[in-house]
A = this chain, B = another copy of it.
Amino acid sequence: MNLDDIKELLKAVTDSDVTELEVELDEAKVRIRRGAPERESAPQPPYVVVASGAMPAGVTAPALGPGPVPQPGPTPKASPETPEASEDDGLTLVPSPIVGTFYESSAPGSPSFVEVGDKVAVGQVLCIIEAMKLMNEIESEVAGVVVKRFVANAQPVEYGQSLFAIRPVGA
């Protein structure tokens, strides 16, 4: 059974008036439910919550794989700020591609590469991340307007931490 098969099953269930479907086929296990899930999270017997919570557990999860892991990890304690903006708002987040220290300008006292409100072009330098004494220029991958900066000058950043939010031109 592959992802397409599961999608097909989903459609079939949607077209029927069935509320629950479980399939065990070869090595795969699929369980589909729908309708009033509020009830289950309320005064339900405990194990039902377990079953319903994390979607069809078992085999489907692996299939989805890690991929773009959702940010809210358990304790990224080192990251003091977390982005509130998201791509849903039409904004593009610029994540740090490496671990290091964020610098807003090329040297102390120099003007910042960009300020909130600035227009930026593709390839324009947004900031520097220093790692092991190397200054890595971070360039914008979109053209747009800088809407927010998440990190203070000289602040450490972890991999994937959001640095800027940019509203792409035309968005």
Chain B residues within an 8 Å CB radius of A110:
none
Chain B residues within an 8 Å CB radius of A49:
45-47
Copies in the complex: 2
Q: Which residue of B has the minimal Cβ distance to A27? A: B26
Q: Which residue of B has the minimal Cβ distance to A16? A: B14
Interface string of A1-44 (1 = CB under 8 A from B): 10101111111111011111111111111111111110111011
- Is the CB of A70 closer than 8 A to any CB of chain B? no
Select A18's contact among B5, B13, B29, beta carbons within 8 Å. B13
Chain B residues within an 8 Å CB radius of A25:
1, 27-28
A55 CA to B48 CA in the complex, in Å? 11
Chain B residues within an 8 Å CB radius of A13:
10, 16, 18
Q: Which residue of B has the minimal Cβ distance to A24? A: B29
Closest 4 pairs (CB-CB, A-B)? A45-B49, A51-B62, A24-B29, A20-B33
**A-B contacts, 6 listed (Cβ < 8 Å):** A19-B37, A23-B29, A31-B59, A31-B63, A46-B50, A51-B59
